[in-house]
A = this chain, B = another copy of it.
Amino acid sequence: MELFHSRQSYLYTPLEELSFISIDTETTGLYPDKGDKICEIAAVLFHQKRKHFEPLGFFWYLINPLRSIPEETSQIHGITDEIIKYSPSFTDIIPSFLEFINNSILAAYNSDFDMYFINKELQNNGSEALSNPTIDVLKLARGFLQLSKYSLENVALNLNISFPQGLMKHGALGDAITNGKVFCTIITQLQSMGYIYLMDILKLLGEKRFEHQEMVIKITDAIFREKKLRIRYLSLQRSISDRLVLPKKIEERNKEYFLIAYCYVKNEERTFALNRILSWEIIG
């Protein structure tokens, strides 16, 4: 069995062959830029064809965030300083986490949140941000299900998916398992509506970011590392030019993505539409 998909071809993965890893984290708070950290992580392997969408494997850790967990967040996820006292740190688990997810397609519920935390921890440890294709199951649910509330719990309830019981009921593992089952269930519904490839779903969702996902992730990483980019750009006037730029940020405007960067050719800050960057490389 081929466990992993090459990055180039993931958009054309047939839905009926899809295997992916569902990810969830629990954290000390909402703001990684203000020092919040991951205190639990789960990664669960699914295959779309597996009966009842039961998981085929998982990786789970309580993580010592090397800081105290505020009482108000402990009340949400139940993880206290006492619980993670003897746990490894995120640094300790990076090698086995990266081996586990390898180059799999990832799925998370409100994935920007988890990915931002995970990538921040990776970068703080000198590792690169993940460039795995990542699907936001919350966005999929919003796009395809008519519900009044889109909490994972409510979405699962409406799809007749029960939360795992026992040790896995609470926290990252239970949520990652439920998220994976929700994703499998939505995919199955879409297959019955004639959707064939992963790309079909993403296109319909208007997720232009997916077309540029690897680019967005790698440039975000370059911004973090203060690295320059060499880009070949097609202007609105249809002229092609090579630019050396220092990337500042990536912005979404009306579902189109733009790179804001200091341009060393024009010696000023310029805005580049990602879909008109013909080729690009990170320098140094």
Measured CB to CB, the residues of A under 8 A from B are: 1, 3, 19, 45, 47, 49-51, 54-62, 64, 82-83, 85-89, 92-93, 95-96, 99-100, 102, 164-169, 177
Known contacts being A62-B56, A166-B169, is A83 close to B51, with CB within 8 Å? yes
| Contact present for A92 and B166 (CB under 8 Å) | no
Q: What is the CA–CA distance of A59 and B88 in the complex, to the nearest angstrom?
A: 14
Q: What is the CA–CA distance of A102 and B92 in the complex, to the nearest angstrom?
A: 11
Known contacts being A96-B99, A96-B100, is A61 close to B45, with CB within 8 Å? yes
Known contacts being A49-B85, A88-B1, is A57 close to B57, with CB within 8 Å? no
> Would you mind naming 15 contact pairs between A and B with Cβ atoms under 8 Å apart?
A1-B89, A19-B86, A47-B86, A47-B87, A49-B85, A49-B86, A54-B167, A56-B62, A57-B60, A57-B62, A58-B59, A99-B100, A100-B100, A166-B168, A167-B177
| Contact present for A96 and B59 (CB under 8 Å) | yes
Question: A59 is contacted by which of B47, B59, B167, B168 (Cβ under 8 Å)?
Answer: B59
Question: A57 is contacted by which of B3, B45, B87 (Cβ under 8 Å)?
Answer: B87
Q: What is the CA–CA distance of A99 and B47 in the complex, to the nearest angstrom?
A: 23
Residues of B within 8 A of A87 (CB): 1, 47, 56-57
Quote the shortest CB–CB distance from A42 to chain B (angstroms): 10
Quote the shortest CB–CB distance from A157 to chain B (angstroms): 18
Q: What is the CA–CA distance of A87 and B56 in the complex, to the nearest angstrom?
A: 6
> Which chain B residue lies CB-closest to A4?
B92
Residues of B within 8 A of A45 (CB): 61, 88
Q: What is the CA–CA distance of A132 and B64 in the complex, to the nearest angstrom?
A: 25
Residues of B within 8 A of A61 (CB): 45, 56-57
Quote the shortest CB–CB distance from A31 to chain B (angstroms): 25
